[in-house]
A and B are shown apart, each in its own frame.
Chain A
């Protein structure tokens, strides 16, 4: 008798847990979709670092603007002369945008009216050193991780001041996938011994490869 009742409770628990999970998932989806809108609606002080998640531990982003590979767009672009029409660009622009599945073009992220700035999907003006605010328009989950330290890289020590890298430090916004690279040398075996080639064939069925 007791066993049966336990069994039933456990089923109930499992069900409610499952239900809870679904609710959570829905909620998180809503939050994810809504986050930029909510902030956009606020209209207050767009693009203040840390504003998206005020409860996140404080941080500063290692600046990128002063790096030599950065061009001042306004050297060529004067105010208001940017043609908003999507087209193939010549001269010193990025040729290919391998990001966003062909739906993107320059002004998806760059601010055409104020070419030294970026613009979020909710029309906030954002400095190049705050590019993470742009990335978060789509990658909200990742952005949250980044704020809290679950994604990205901390370049300062583990305690005290928290200096972290911007998204664009590792991900070229025009081609964000990390490029393959040659690995460092193979690990050694003990001095005086030779490496043994006993590597098993790759299987364990996934699925029969």
Chain B
């Protein structure tokens, strides 16, 4: 459904031209490659897969068959590159849903359970963590005094409070404006997603993001086979290629099936409240309407769908 909305943007003639052009290129080279299924080179992929990778269409422009082909190719590549079987599905946004998140900062104790659960769920390489838990000085909201690398015997530490920051899924996302190739966009459920196979890795979105919420794969993700979460989707937690940008996507592989994001599930204090902003009876709406909430850097006009509030 969402797919139709986007494909419609292109005039049919242009679309036909583009498709036939790509198909011709594809057929020509595929014929040249022949039926040989050479392994080893092409980054551990077969030549045919490497070839299809190169000419892969933008997610929003793929037909249903092309998408299926791509998904099975992703599964094949994971087997070849990481030696583990995964399932990769397509998870279009749900109708009538816009996701929002609220964190009760008086309940956050800085345990970082969310950080690690997120990393496991989303197949994050060892040097990327989507959630920054900032240790803040009481009586101040000065981010410059925040410490992300705190290490203590036990937390919370007296005189400190904890401010978890992740992608705010801005409703006016500067990163989406920045992208020169439309590899990142906001879906109808308000989640800003990335097509990892379309991103060219220019990192302009990282410069544009006011929340340090975007991360680059400086090298091929180091994922040990036994730690890969095999339950993946295209737009979310599948293993990423080298040289592309990724970010928190509110666990689309879970939340678009009605589940909670991994960080909410992991939070031992119940500080995280996730839900549908369009549902007036949802917990998130209760928080927005009954608590004194604030958003980070609201003055920038990014309209985050991520709130903070306090019990105290």
Which B residues lie within 8 Å of A12 (CB)?
Answer: none
Give Cα A209 to B150, complex, Å: 19
Distance, CA A178 to CA B267, complexed state (A): 13
CB contacts (< 8 Å) of A200 on chain B: these are 144-145
Residues of chain B from 276 to 312 with CB closer than 8 A to chain A in the complex = 276, 281-284, 286-287, 290-291, 311
Please determine whether B270 and A151 come into contact, CB atoms closer than 8 angstroms.
Answer: yes
A21 to chain B, nearest CB (A): 12
Q: Is the CB of B138 within 8 A of A206?
A: yes
Q: Judging by beta carbons under 8 Å apart, are B137 and A206 in contact?
A: yes
List the count of A-B residue pairs having beta carbons below 8 Å apart.
Answer: 133
CA distance A184 to B154 in the complex (A): 10
Q: Tell me if A181 and B154 are in contact (CB < 8 A).
A: yes
Is A145 a contact of B290 with CB atoms below 8 Å?
A: yes
Instruction: Check B218 against A183 for contact (C-beta < 8 Å).
Output: no
- B107-140 vs A, Cβ < 8 Å mask (1 yes, 0 no): 0011111011000000001111100100001111
Within 8 A of B (CB), among A83-135: none
- Say whether, besides A157-B260, A160-B258, A191-B219, A165 and B270 are in contact (CB < 8 Å): yes
Question: Which residue of the partner chain A has the closest CB to B155?
Answer: A183
Q: Are the C-beta atoms of A187 and B137 separated by less than 8 Å?
A: no
Decide yes or no whether A204 CB sits under 8 A from chain B: yes
- Are A191 and B140 in contact, with the CB atoms below 8 A? no
Interface flag for B255 (CB, 8 Å): yes
Q: Which of A138-165 contact B (CB under 8 A)?
A: 142, 145, 148-160, 165
B109 and A181 within 8 A (CB): yes
Q: Are B258 and A159 interface neighbours, CB within 8 A?
A: yes
* Pair A149/B282 contact, Cβ less than 8 Å: yes
For A176, the chain B residues whose CB sits under 8 A away are none
A72–B253 alpha-carbon span in the complex (Å): 42
Is there an interface contact between A188 and B129, defined as CB atoms closer than 8 Å? yes
Given A182-B154, A206-B138, is A187 in contact with B283 using a C-beta cutoff of 8 Å?
no
Q: Can you name the residue of chain A whose Cβ is closest to the Cβ of B267?
A: A153
Contact string, A163-206, partner B, CB cutoff 8 A, digits 1/0?
Answer: 00100001000000010111111111111100100011011111
Q: How many residues of B contact A (CB 8 A)?
A: 59
Which residues of chain B come closer than 8 Å to A156, judged between CB atoms?
260
B259 at the interface (CB under 8 A from A): yes
Contacts of A199 in B (CB 8 A): 147, 149
A50 at the interface (CB under 8 A from B): no
Q: Does A63 contact B (CB under 8 A)?
A: no
Residue B222 at the A interface, CB < 8 A?
yes
Say whether chain B's binding surface is mostly helix, strand, loop, or mixed.
loop
Complex Cα distance, B145 from A199, in Å, reads 8
CB B273 to nearest CB in A, in angstroms, measures 7
B187 to chain A, nearest CB (A): 16
B127 touching A189, Cβ below 8 Å: yes
Is A57 part of the contact surface with B, judged by Cβ < 8 Å?
yes
Closest B residue to A206 by CB, please name it.
B139
Please tell me if A207 contacts chain B, counting CB pairs below 8 Å: yes
B60 CB within 8 Å of chain A: no
Contact residues in B for A145 (Cβ distance below 8 Å): 286, 290-291, 311
CA A190 – CA B128 in complex, angstroms? 7
A114 to chain B, nearest CB (A): 31
Query: With the chains together, A174 CA to B273 CA distance in Å?
Result: 27
Interface presence of B234 (CB below 8 A): no
> Considering the chains assembled together, what is the distance between the CA atoms of A202 and B227 in angstroms?
38
Quote the shortest CB–CB distance from A170 to chain B (angstroms): 7
A150 B151 Cβ-Cβ under 8 A: no
Using CB atoms and an 8 Å cutoff, list the residues of chain B in contact with chain A.
Answer: 104, 109-113, 115-116, 125-129, 132, 137-140, 142, 144-145, 147-156, 159, 218-219, 222, 255, 257-260, 264-265, 267-270, 273-276, 281-284, 286-287, 290-291, 311
Interchain residue pairs A-B with the least CB separation, the first 3:
A206-B139, A149-B283, A153-B270
**Contacts A155-B265, A191-B125, A206-B139 known; 5 new A-B pairs at CB < 8 A:** A150-B104, A153-B267, A158-B274, A202-B159, A203-B137
